[in-house]
Amino acid sequence: MQGKVQIKVRGYHLDIFQHVNNARYLEFLEEGRWAFFDEFNVGDDMLKQGIVWAVVNINIDFKAEAGFGDVLEVETQFSKLSNRSITMKQRILNASNNKLVVEADVTYVCFSKEHQAAIPLPEDYRQKIEQAIV
């Protein structure tokens, strides 16, 4: 399963060099993950159980610049599943020329708000994620 969301680059996304500031890519990637979780339909159920995904690691590879007016497409998918964590692979492409702008790996742990600690993934989520891993 792969989620996709598009973001249009606005003036406030740019740095002094007039291309997207590196910190903005973190926001674009996060937007992609939120959209993916909406499509995957697990976020609300987990929150009701007091379980959240906590980001513990992000690795970003910047491949090309993006500028004002570019439409960027954020692709998100699960890539790895462990006992207490998942890793997602994300890519940001320039929608006009399909050029790769950013690649990222983001690792989450399954976190219990009640216990204030990482916990094993509930079995029903584990099975759902296993089916979606590319």
Q: Please write the tens of the pLDDT for every residue from 83-127.
A: 999 999 999 999 999 999 999 999 999 999 899 999 998 888 888
At 1, the pLDDT band (50, 70, 90 cuts) reads low
Residue 86: the pLDDT is: 93
What pLDDT is attached to residue 78?
A: 93
Whole-angstrom distance, CA of residue 54 vs CA of residue 47: 12
Domain boundaries, the chain: 3-132
| Residue 15 is among the residues annotated as catalytic for this protein | yes
Beta strands in 16-67 (DSSP E): 51-62
Which pLDDT tens digit goes with each residue over 33-90? 989 888 877 667 777 888 888 999 999 999 999 999 999 999 999 999 999 999 999 9
Could you give the 3-state DSSP secondary structure of residue 120?
Answer: coil
Alpha-carbon distance values, 128 to 9, 41, 48, 76, 133 (Å): 34, 10, 18, 16, 9
> Which pLDDT score is estimated for 107?
97
Structurally, what CATH architecture does the domain formed by 3-132 represent? Roll (3.10)
